[in-house]
Structure 1
Amino acid sequence: MCGTTALLDASLAAAADGKPAFSADPLATWQTDGIVWSLAAANGVVYVGGTFETVRPPGAALGQQQVKRQNFAAFDAVTGKLLPCAPAFTGHNHTVRAMKASPDGRVLYVGGSFSKVGSTRVANAVALDTSDCTLSKTFRPSVSATVRAIETTDKAIYLGGDFGRVGGQSRNRVAALTPKGSVLPFRADVDQPVRALAAALSHGRLFVGGDFEAVNGQGARSLVTLNPTTGKTVLRYPGWFPPLSSVKAIARDNTRFFVGAEGHGPGIFDGRIAGRLTNGTMVWKDTCRGATQALLPYKGLLYSASHAHDCHATPGGFPERGDRQHLLVQSLDTRKILHWFPDTNDGVGEHVGPRALALSKGVLWAGGEFTLVNDAPQQGLTRFGSRDTGAPKVPALSLADTDPGKATLAWRASWDRDDASLTYRIYRDGKLVAQRTKKSTYWDLPRMTHTDSAPAGRHRYEIEVTDGTNTSPKSAALYVTVPAQAAQAAQEPQAAQEPQAAEKRAEGDPR
């Protein structure tokens, strides 16, 4: 880490942070009655896997308008429409934990803990033809325990999980198969469950993450790079993860890989790390607490699912407040957290919140344990498009002070989930008299004031807030009596006498 400090400082100074590609306002989305563990996208379809028995339309309460879907469902990525592809994944401890489409999108590989798909006997891993949602007749490896991660390439399908045997052969927690389901010679010995996989074949690397302490007889805590053909260790990452910190997510772009961790215990590393594909050196490390579960790099930014609650040491981050932020985006170059704060709650199960992310047709999907999205009921699934539809909340005006000819108004800044700079418009008696622009976040709402020069008398003040696209309703009216200025008050008696004096002069009165 020390060797990368100068490079990081340089990138912080030079790199321009991008703008999030998505609004923080959720699109109408179907819901599940349980937990979504995995999402996958292919050909404009988003596949949803997890532990659930039914799905229901947007806005429907739990138990209402339910449609049977056993641990698996498919949706149109753009419209959100529920599709008829609905094989039932059942059997002992039935759950879908991992999914990944083939590079050409023709096949969807599915893993988890299940013994039947429909009426067909299987063992924890299968493949579906995405054109007609039928079960592959060839890719049906017998996997001895839960599959928790899948990576696909043109030549190999990699599985990771809890298992010790695949296709009748010894394979300790990671295995490689042909797209037709034959076990490949690839072999690695991992001592604890594998939870994340990512291949970078042009660099000769298969990234493997999980709960482990040793791989191929050598110490390798939570992350290792293997040769994708043989399974031999290529790189280990000493010092990257403390004890009890597990890798839950791995993603990559063309030059870097990104790792998300979950710490098991107070203060154990929960954040994200970026490294170089070429040599495995660390680019940056953020120390946000809150169990990172999923990562998705897109257009120069890294989207993540977690329940972050202390990011004070990360640029753009927030302090510990006793609450949690479940979705984040940060710069790939600077690690700076950007102003994009859609949120969920912790939800059911292990109370982690979101667990999976997927992108299809410009729509970001998130799945997990949550039952609320942006404080509104929404279970298991949500998604975000590019259109900003949410207006900031309007603040309450109060009177800070009055002086002759002046009224000082005060309010606490509002905030918006996807716009940091907000403009406040102040109206007196229905007329716009001032506007102020200020940055704010949900953890930093500055006090704002405006002193209005107004004629003496009683006035009605209102305020509205705009993010440049959406504008809040006007606030409740604040009535203020502005006192007259001293000079004006002193001149009023003389001014009252002037018409009488003019009248007498017109009549020839010398006075």
Structure 2
Amino acid sequence: MLVTISLIAMTPQSAKADTSPSLGEPVTVTADALPTWQTDGVIWSIAMVGNTAYVGGNFDHIRPPGTQPGDPHEIPRQNLAAFNAATGEPLPWSPAAEGVPFTSTNPQKGCDNLGNNQWNCDAVRELKASPDGSKLYIGGDFTKVDGQARKRIAAFNLPDGTLNSFSHDLNNAVRGLAVSDTAVYAGGYFTAIDGAARQRLAAFDTATGALTTWAPTADRGVHAMVVSPDGSRVVLGGYFKQVNGNPPHGLGAVHTDATGTSAPWATGVDYFSETRQSHVTDLVTDDDTVYASAEGAGTFDGRLALNPDDGELRWIDNCRGATQALTLLAGVLYSGSHAHDCSTQPDGFPELTEHPAQRLLAEPTKPATETPAILHWFPNTNNGTEPDHQGPRALDNNGHYLWVGGEFTAVNSQPQQGLTRFGTMSVTTDTDKPVSLAKPTVSQPAGTTGTVKIDWTQTWDRDNKNLKYELLRGNTVTHTTEARSRFWNLQPMTYNDTGLPNGSTHTYSIRAIDPFGNTIWSPQSDPIQID
């Protein structure tokens, strides 16, 4: 049976996971953004190999955290860079991905504007390492690497980072890569390789680098690829309506046999018209499930979990707000998006004017219900710069550090461009305080003596749902309570402080404390005199 995913309402159920979750729930990485060098452009892809984070995109320089473009410590990097995953510091690896300037009045998105209708498309759009970590493959719009012809696909030897002799001529862009022990699979917008017809899909032998006979066809762009857990299929995502002439739209699978014959696939994403459709942006897999992300135009743009053998749907998340990137870490699916309404999800948030998008999310990979809860992990970025103002564009991790790339220029409301990272509790500590508290209000209830009523509103913490609130009269704690605190549902709280002597004057403040002792104080209340 063929299924097209649309916006489906599910019954919400609760979950509480964070950096200090309830028993049996997955632990997230912290929401503390760790010090990381920045770029002056967009990061489109990240590949973690051991303790190295390789990044590709459209940028000219990298610079230290906390600095602005043009900083004296800025160093050149042309669309490729590498960093120590544990420190965020740059590594010496500095190949240059280059393009050839051309004249156009309507270039594709992401090209560099040279002025006078001159453009250069040199971005690196995808990075994938070989399973053994001995090679790094890159795809994109570039046509040269370090001055040598590498038309839209190239490879580097690891760990030394030297350019591999692997070289082919693809006549249009690469957008997706997948690598097995024996083959490199490429997808994108190309229709010929070295003069041989290949309709947006192709494979190369990892041992010889030669173009293979694997030649399935897609009628439109392929943006994402992943090899199934058993190695028998390549799962595909993108804009296409058909693969090898077969539906569904946006998702499909082909065998890893000699020619890429079609594999059964049950689930597609929405297509209503050319202006109202979804497409798949990223694919990742664990031992038994493929996860997909989507972008839609008034259509599905959340996340899916699918059986890799036949494409049957396992769960669906209907958050609204295009999803661009996915990564899996310790039973949690992390995503980069501009989610603005997750009210259909357990523990999901509604549309909020004061919090217009939550661009980083976490969900359990194996939820107990047919739709996953939104876990309490809420670091955030802004929407950033051109070309699309989408914020996060790339995610990857090495089991300890989760790296995020994109077009953002701020993380957790602090300036940070293009790159950031987060750590598991095994390599870092949770040091981020709850968000600021407003000043409490005080009053003397009518008909009472010696009593002050203190009112305040909850705050929230980016990676801990349950907070302790302490009420202080002057410097003395007079009341302690705990409460579940979420940014979209901050509740009023109140306490009556009794037994105060007539004529005395008091001020009050609130402090909110997360499970790790990180504390935020409210401003002190106005003084109140007891009548």
Both structures adopt the same fold (TM-score exceeding 0.5): yes
Partner of 2:253: 225
Report whether the alignment pairs 1:394 with 2:433: no
Select which of 402, 405, 408 maps to 1:367. Answer: 405
- Residues 1:318 and 2:349 aligned together: yes
Partners of 1:407 and 1:480 within 8 A in 2 = no
Q: Please give the alpha-carbon distance, in whole angstroms, between the structure 2 residues aligned to 1:158 and 1:278.
A: 19
2:50 equivalent among 36, 43, 50: 43
The reply on whether 1:150 has 2:177 as its aligned counterpart is yes
Aligned to 1:351: 389
Q: Is the 8 A contact 1:407 1:482 kept in 2?
A: no
Deviation of 1:143 after TM superposition, in Å, equals 1.5
Q: Write out per-residue CA displacement over residues 19-44 of structure 1, whole angstroms, 9 at most, x where no aligned residue.
A: 33311110011111110001001121
> Does residue 429 in structure 1 map to residue 466 in structure 2?
no
Deviation at 1:333, TM superposition (A): 2.2
Letter in 2 for 1:72: L
Specify the alignment match of 2:134 in structure 1: 106
Pair 1:301 & 2:346 matched: no
> Corresponding residue for 1:176?
203
Which residue does the alignment assign to 2:374?
337
Asked if 1:87 is matched to 2:120, the reply is no
- C-alpha distance in 2, partners of 1:459/1:122? 73
TM-score by length of 1: 0.89
Unaligned runs of 5+ in 1: 3-7, 485-511
Q: Offset at 1:295? A: 1.0
Correspondence for 2:461 among 410, 416, 432:
416
Residue 107 (structure 2) aligns with: none
**Segment of structure 1 superposing worse, 341-350 or 426-435:** 426-435
User: 2:105 matched to which residue of 1?
Assistant: none
Q: 1:473 deviation in Å? A: 4.5
Distance 2:151 2:513 in 1: 55
**How far apart are 1:347 and its partner, in Å?**
0.6
Contact 1:262–1:290 at 8 Å: present in 2 too?
yes
Contact 1:288 1:313 in 2 (8 A): yes
Q: 1:9/1:311 Cα in 2 relative to 1: closer, same or farther (>3 Å)?
A: closer
Q: Tell me what 2:416 maps to.
A: 378
Please state whether the residue corresponding to 2:230 is helix, strand or coil: helix
Distance 1:367 1:17, change over 3 A: farther
1:408-437 Cα offsets, whole Å, 9 max, x none, are 100010111001111111112311111111
TM-fit CA distance, 1:307: 0.5
Kindly state the Cα deviation for residue 397 of structure 1 after the two structures are TM-superposed. Answer: 1.1
Change (3 A) 1:226 1:83: same
Aligned to 1:446: 491
* Cα distance in 2 for residues equivalent to 1:170 and 1:406: 84
Corresponding position of 1:204: 232
Which one has the bigger helix percentage? 1
Q: Distance in 1 between matches of 2:24 and 2:332?
A: 8
1:218–1:280: structure 2 CA closer, same or farther, 3 Å change rule? closer
What's the counterpart of residue 146 of structure 2? 118
**Structure 2 SS opposite 1:135:** coil
Secondary structure of the corresponding residue to residue 437 of structure 1: strand
Structure 2 residue identity aligned to 1:336: A
**Deviation of residue 223 (structure 1)?**
0.4
1:494 match = none
CA distance in 2, matches of 1:391, 1:99: 35
Q: Counterparts of 1:73 and 1:248 in 2: how far apart (Å)?
A: 23
Indicate if the aligned counterparts of 1:225 and 1:236 stay in contact, CA closer than 8 A: yes
| Residue in 2 that maps onto 1:97 | 125
Tell me, in whole angstroms, the C-alpha distance in 2 between the residues paired with 1:55 and 1:404.
64
1:239 Cα deviation (Å)? 5.3
Q: Note if 1:463 corresponds to 2:510.
A: yes
Bigger Rg over Cα: 1
Equivalent of 2:319 in 288, 307, 310: 288
Q: Would you say 1:22 and 2:29 are equivalent positions?
A: yes
Task: State how many pairs are aligned.
Answer: 475
* Structure 1 residue 205, shift from structure 2 partner: 1.6
CA RMSD of aligned residues (A): 2.1
8 Å contact from structure 2 (residues 180, 231) kept in 1: no
- Structure number with the bigger relative contact order (C-alpha 8 A, sep ≥ 6) is 2
Matches of 1:113 and 1:452, distance apart in 2: 67
Between the aligned partners of 1:409 and 1:360, the Cα distance in structure 2 is: 47
Report how far residue 375 of structure 1 moved: 0.8
> How far off its partner does 1:453 sit?
1.6
Preserved contact between residue 394 and residue 472 of structure 1 (Cα < 8 Å)? no
SS in 1 for 2:519: coil
Pick aligned residue for 1:274 from 305, 314, 320? 305
Evaluate the alpha carbon distance shift between residue 129 and residue 381 of structure 1 in structure 2; reply closer, same or farther with a 3 A threshold.
same
- Secondary structure class of the residue paired with 1:233: coil
Give the unaligned 5+ runs of structure 2. Answer: 5-9, 18-22, 101-120
Match of 1:477 in 2: 524
Distance 2:394 2:48 in 1: 12
State the percentage of identical aligned residues: 39
d(CA) in 1 for partners of 2:184 and 2:221? 18
